[in-house]
Amino acid sequence: MSSRHVVVVGGGIAGLTAALRLAESGVRVSLIEATARLGGKIRTADDGIETGAEQFLMRTPDGGPSGAARLVSDLGLGDRLTHPALSAAGLWVGGRLQSMPPGTLMGVPGFSAALDGVATLADDDRDLGVPVLAGQDVAVGELVRSRLGGEVVEHLVDPLLGGVYAGQADLLSLRATIPNLYAALQTAHTLRDGVGASLVKRSAAGPVFGTLRGGLSSLVEALTGRLLDLGVTIHYGKPLRSLDDVDADGYVLACPAKPAAALLPAPVAERVSVLDYASVGLVTLRLPGAELPQLTGFLVPADQGLSIKAATFFSRKWEHLSGQPEPAVRVSVGRYGEVGALALTDEALGEAVQADLAKVLGPLPAASAVRVTRWGGALPQYAPGHVERVAEARSLLEAEHRAGREAGPKPVVLAGAAFDGVGLPVCITSGEKAAADLGEFVK
């Protein structure tokens, strides 16, 4: 093992992956987690239902295996991999539940998408002889609204982005949230052409999503076991106040933006600390004897008068959970800037969710069990310019280290959802890149 010592701050999936890759390279690693558990937003309940992240993309936009798919294989968990039994999701619009229109990318329709009964399509997506974008970042809602109309934003894009980020399309960066579409629009002359090009690139064969039998917590357990085998030291319940408190040859900050900013030099912290977060709640219901639609679940636009924003029919979606005696439905509440539902007690929130579910699905049996999970400040809200700000932060850190390489600041790299995006594959890839970048510094 190398005499070099690296400290990883944050025990979510990005920090765990960074620690793994560094330890595999022979570096001595200490991992510091502020809470009493590892895994970040991954948490599987005893009944096998996820109370945080539920699944992961199997492929990258160019068709290669995603970071999550690679890590599952590396850890020997391939035999646990499973895919949705159903692929059709629903949308609650105009008082009825209908199938999500195909041919869309994060809700943005391409030319093949049929939006009858969902949204009226504006006719402003004209070819003006130049690319839609020329390097500039924009809010997703601003762009889609200007070319395809407000109903497309409110009934399709907002629900999809709300499901992933709990955010509003008018406030979220296109480059950060739909990077493949942003890239396509640097050459495409219409928005729908850009969507079409992006959909072609991601049309590789095979399942889109995957998860693990036994729950995603088994991924965290396997990672933790591998880290311990490699001699990584793990410290729990230890918030770090200053990098000066732990001596190391380099640091990976894989924690949320504000804790990271507190550990960074002022010019870097200024660019990191502006990131805001949304809080969400997940309510899991056991509904004995309920007849659920042949869908994976459904989304609810914010203008449809319900407090819930999405529901997943776990017992329908995942075959390994279909044999459970009582169907499980997990409902999501909470959008950025809207905290009314999350201010309710667990009991009141459970009742409100059941009332909204009945409006969508019709009369339902009384829930035999209700579990409420709250994730405060869980989902980053990437405002336009986020990618540029993170790039500036990283450049400043690298320049500061290189300027004082002999006796100056130790190298610091950034990883995780605060910087590179949400979802297991993105965070895993971010952790791997951080380990590679830091490895160059500490050799």
Radius of gyration (C-alpha) of the chain in whole angstroms: 22
CA distance 194 to 283: 36
- pLDDT for position 360: 97
Q: Tell me what pLDDT residue 426 has.
A: 98
> Does residue 89 form part of some domain?
no
Residues 286 and 265 in one domain: no
* Contact between residue 278 and residue 381 where contact means Cβ atoms under 8 Å apart: yes
Answer with the one of 177, 201, 225 that is the final residue of a domain. Answer: 201
The tally of domains found in the chain comes to 3
Q: Are 65 and 136 in a shared domain?
A: no
Q: Which CATH number characterizes residue 64's domain? A: 3.50.50.60
Q: In terms of residue numbers, what domain contains 60?
A: 5-83+214-275+383-442
Residue 47 and residue 188 in one domain: no
Q: Tell me, yes or no, whether 208 lies in a domain.
A: no
| Cα 143 to chain centroid, rounded | 22
pLDDT value, residue 264: 97
What is the C-alpha to C-alpha distance for residues 385 and 173, in angstroms, rounded to an integer? 7
Q: Which helix (H) or strand (E) holds 93?
A: strand 90-93
- Alpha-carbon span 73 to 387, nearest angstrom: 30
User: For the domain that residue 182 is a member of, what is the CATH number?
Assistant: 1.10.3110.10
- Partnered with residue 6 across adjacent β-strands are 29, 250
Residues 54 and 421: their CA atoms lie apart, in Å, by: 16
Q: At what angle do helices 13-24 and 424-442 cross, to 10 degrees?
A: 40
* 244 CB-near residues (< 8 Å, 6+ apart): none
Q: Does residue 195 lie within any of the structural domains?
A: yes
Q: For tokens 């997943």, name the residue.
A: 312
Q: Which helix (H) or strand (E) element contains residue 318?
A: none
Residue 33 lies in a domain: yes
Give domain status of residue 174, yes or no.
Answer: yes
Same domain, 104 and 187: yes
Contact 338, 314 (CB under 8 A): no
Cross-strand partners of 276: 381
Q: What is the pLDDT of residue 408?
A: 59
| The domain boundary residue, chosen from 140, 174, 201 | 201
What is the C-alpha separation between 125 and 194, in angstroms, rounded?
11
Are residues 116 and 180 both part of a single domain?
yes
Please list, in sequence order, all residues whose beta carbon lies within 8 angstroms of the beta carbon of residue 407, skipping any fewer than 6 positions away.
none
The pTM for the full model equals 0.95
Tell me the C-alpha to C-alpha distance, in Å, between residue 261 and each of 254, 255, 267, 440, 442. 11, 10, 10, 23, 22
Residue 94 lies in a domain: no
CB burial readout 263-292, b (16+ within 10 A) else e: bbeeebbebbeebbbbbbbbbbbbbeebeb
On whether both 267 and 398 belong to a single domain, the answer is: yes
Q: Is the domain of 41 the same as that of 116?
A: no
Q: Which residue has the tokens 């409006």?
A: 359
**What whole-number distance in Å separates Cα of residue 55 and Cα of residue 324?**
19
Residues whose CB falls within 8 Å of the CB of residue 118, separated by 6 or more in sequence, listed in order: 91, 93, 98, 101, 151, 155, 156
Residue 268 shares a structural domain with residue 406:
yes
In a shared domain, residues 269 and 387? yes
253 within domain boundaries: yes
Specify the CATH number for the domain of residue 328: 3.90.660.20
pLDDT of residue 204: 62
- Per-residue b or e along 191-215, where b marks 16 or more CB atoms closer than 10 Å to that residue's CB: bbbbbbbbbeeeeeeeeebbbbeeb
Ordered per-residue pLDDT tens for the chain, 443 residues: 668 999 999 999 999 999 999 999 999 999 999 999 999 999 999 999 999 999 999 999 888 999 999 999 999 999 999 999 987 899 999 999 999 999 999 999 999 888 988 999 998 999 999 999 999 999 999 999 999 999 999 999 999 999 999 999 999 999 999 999 999 999 999 999 999 999 886 656 689 999 999 999 999 999 999 999 999 999 999 899 999 999 999 999 999 999 999 999 999 999 999 999 999 999 999 999 999 999 999 999 999 999 999 999 999 999 999 888 899 999 999 999 888 899 999 999 999 999 999 999 999 999 999 999 999 999 999 999 999 999 999 999 999 888 765 555 799 999 999 999 999 999 999 999 999 999 877 66
- First CA to last CA across the chain, in angstroms? 12
3-class SS of residue 112: coil
254 and 171 in a common domain: no
Whether residue 329 sits in one domain with residue 244: no
Q: 61 in a domain, yes or no?
A: yes
Stretch (H or E) spanning 109: strand 108-109
Contact 416, 427 (CB under 8 A): yes
Q: Are residues 239 and 306 in the same domain?
A: no
Look at residue 206 in the predicted model and tell me its pLDDT.
81
Among residues 155, 179, 201, the one where a domain terminates is: 201
